[in-house]
């Protein structure tokens, strides 16, 4: 059965954050709150954990996973960003947006879209998740917590524990999330393209 940590949404307990980071660093998958719905997260370079995360979500390698980063300074290693894209990113981060960018060679190939060589990037606006990223000391791979066959995302940590308790290592209860996903915008073309409208307002991209 997975562990269950109640972490304060505004003043996360350092001891619990350290334990959560250790679980991730040892190959665990964690359900964590974000500024939209809950997400499943794991280590960027842990192949087995990423494959397990995909199986739980019921998605293949063509489904974009999201690279969760603390701030824009971490993006350049994993995605190509020109000046215009950087200005656009600066306007919407941190926040409930996932931005599709061209992946660099630094990003493990299994994490980028197999045909397009792109990756979704996200700077979340959630105190617990940002503190966890800080504690782990590197970006994490994440995906919105929506299980196969469900028509809604999971945002109640107790329901997450009930349904995924035997498949993941930790559920972080940071309070109820929303049922809205992030807004996904693709910046790899000549103009921004709206792939999914969610919690973030696409008008900032002129969409």
188-195 contacts at long range (C-beta below 8 A, 24 or more positions apart): 188/100, 188/101, 188/102, 188/116, 188/118, 192/88, 195/100
Range(s) of the domain holding residue 21: 3-201
The predicted structure's pLDDT at residue 160: 95
In a domain, 156, yes or no: yes
Q: What is the dihedral of CA 71, 45, 6, 163, to 10 degrees?
A: 120
Tokens of 132: 């966890």
| Residue 173 domain flag | yes
How many C-alpha atoms does 122 have within 13 Å on its Cβ side? 32
Task: Give the CATH number for residue 87.
Answer: 3.90.870.10
Question: What's the distance, Cα to Cα, between the start and end of the chain in Å?
Answer: 44
Measured CA to CA, the distance from residue 73 to residue 122 in angstroms comes to: 12
Q: Which two tokens stand for residue 130?
A: 């940002």
Residues 110-125: b if buried by 16+ CB within 10 A, e if exposed: ebbbeeeebbbbbbbb
* pLDDT at site 115: 82
In this prediction, residue 28 carries a pLDDT of 97
- How far apart (Å, rounded) are the C-alpha atoms in residues 52 and 36? 23
- pLDDT tens series, the chain, 207 aa: 899 999 999 999 999 999 999 999 999 999 999 998 899 999 999 999 999 999 999 998 888 899 999 999 999 899 999 999 999 999 999 999 999 999 998 888 888 888 889 999 999 999 999 999 999 999 999 999 999 999 889 989 999 999 999 999 999 999 988 888 899 999 999 999 999 999 999 999 988
Q: Decide if 207 is inside a domain.
A: no
Question: Number of folded domains in the chain?
Answer: 1
**Could you give the CA distance from residue 127 to residue 156 in angstroms, rounded to a whole number?**
17
CA distance 153 to 100: 21
């Amino acid at each position: 059965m997975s562990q269950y940590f109640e972490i304060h949404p505004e003043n996360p307990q350092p001891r619990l954050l350290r334990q959560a980071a250790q679980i991730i660093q040892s190959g665990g998958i964690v359900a964590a709150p974000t500024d939209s719905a809950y997400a499943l997260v794991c280590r960027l370079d842990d192949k087995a954990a990423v494959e397990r995360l995909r199986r739980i979500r019921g998605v293949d390698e063509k489904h974009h996973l999201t690279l969760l980063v603390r701030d824009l300074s971490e993006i350049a290693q994993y995605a190509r960003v020109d000046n215009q894209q950087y200005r656009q990113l600066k306007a919407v981060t941190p926040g409930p947006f996932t931005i599709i960018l061209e992946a660099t060679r630094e990003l493990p190939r299994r994490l980028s879209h197999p045909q397009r060589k792109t990756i979704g990037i996200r700077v979340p606006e959630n105190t617990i998740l940002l503190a966890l990223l800080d504690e782990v000391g590197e970006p994490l791979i994440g995906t919105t917590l929506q299980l196969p066959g469900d028509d809604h995302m999971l945002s109640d940590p107790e329901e997450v524990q009930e349904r995924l308790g035997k498949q993941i290592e930790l559920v972080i209860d940071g309070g109820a999330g929303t049922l809205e996903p992030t807004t996904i915008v693709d910046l790899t073309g000549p103009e921004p393209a709206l792939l999914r409208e969610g919690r973030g307002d696409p008008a900032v991209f002129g969409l």
